[in-house]
Amino acid sequence: MSVVATHPSVATRAGVRWVVALAVLVAIPTLTSAQTDEIQVYDGGLAEVGVFNLTVHTNFTPRGLSAPAFPGAVIADESFNGVPEWALGVTPWFEAGLYLPLYSRDKNTGWGLDGFKLRALFAVPKADDRTFFYGANFEFSLNAHRWDTTRFTSEIRPIVGWHLKPIDIIINPIVDTAYDGLRNLEFVPAARVAYNFQSGWQWRSRNTTTSVLCTGFCLSLNRRTRSMVSSTRPGGHGTSRPAWASA
């Protein structure tokens, strides 16, 4: 029987490499799929109990798909999209949310309402302070006819992540459904790898399925906890999420 001693720093680096490889593998299936309407990676952060948050998401897609997914559908090309996100911290592990109203303007159909979403986010308390954190987000969408041919859709988004200081790795193996059978479930995983600088800046690499602003992986450098990325796919199967994204 032999025992091999490994220096802690070496073991840590090896662990980081394995987790990064896992995040990349989760992202790969989305690189060749259709353009999506949202690029968002949930990190398990919750509002404090009793705290009410309002975040307004807005974006403009300068270049995107120019053909409608179905007659009368909103198109991505040169579209303006937005939604207020209302959120309330209910317990240390549960946040309730509402996206209302979802709205957009494109060059073919003009201004219009795209529906609304109910959100229930569950996560381990104080996820930002933990090395390993986890949770799950559940969404129910009511879609306008201009946005999706399916009236009701939903999303189940597991959340798994590591704060490895200074590296953050977050994986969201998302499943979308239009309530049309198990065989028609859509697997649309998302992942993010971020490096946190001592100055407070953060470098992020996240997977995306859109060709609007980038192909494959998007890189961003910012000091905000949320960064906006525009993308849209009206009429896609599964959850028709609003045409905005916070990463």
- Whether the pTM exceeds 0.75: the reply is no
User: Are the CB atoms for 18 and 224 separated by under 8 Å?
Assistant: no
Tens digit of each residue's pLDDT (9 = 90 or more) over 212-229: 333 334 444 444 333 333
Beta strands in 173-232 (DSSP E): 175-177, 186-187, 190-196, 202-207, 217-222
Output DSSP code: residue 19.
Answer: H
d(Cα 76, Cα 235) in Å, to the nearest integer?
A: 11
Partners of 58 in the β-ladder: 82
Instruction: Read off the pLDDT of each residue in 16-29 and give the average, rounded to a whole number.
Output: 47
Contact 176, 146 (CB under 8 A): no
Question: What number is the average pLDDT over the span 233-242?
Answer: 36
Flag the least confident range among 11-20, 119-128, 159-168: 11-20
- Alpha-carbon radius of gyration of the chain: 19
What pLDDT digit, counting tens, does each position of 102-123 carry? 999 999 889 999 999 999 999 9
DSSP 121-161: EEE-TTGGG-SEEEEEEEEEEEE-TTT-S-SEEEEEEEEEE
Q: What is the pLDDT of residue 183?
A: 92
- Closest by Cα among 171, 179, 181, 183 to 240: 179
Identify which of 23, 21, 5, 4 has the alpha carbon closest to the alpha carbon of residue 169: 23
pLDDT tens digits along 140-170: 999 999 988 999 999 999 999 999 989 999 9
User: What is the structure's pLDDT at 30?
Assistant: 39
Domain ranges, ordered by start, for the chain: 8-222
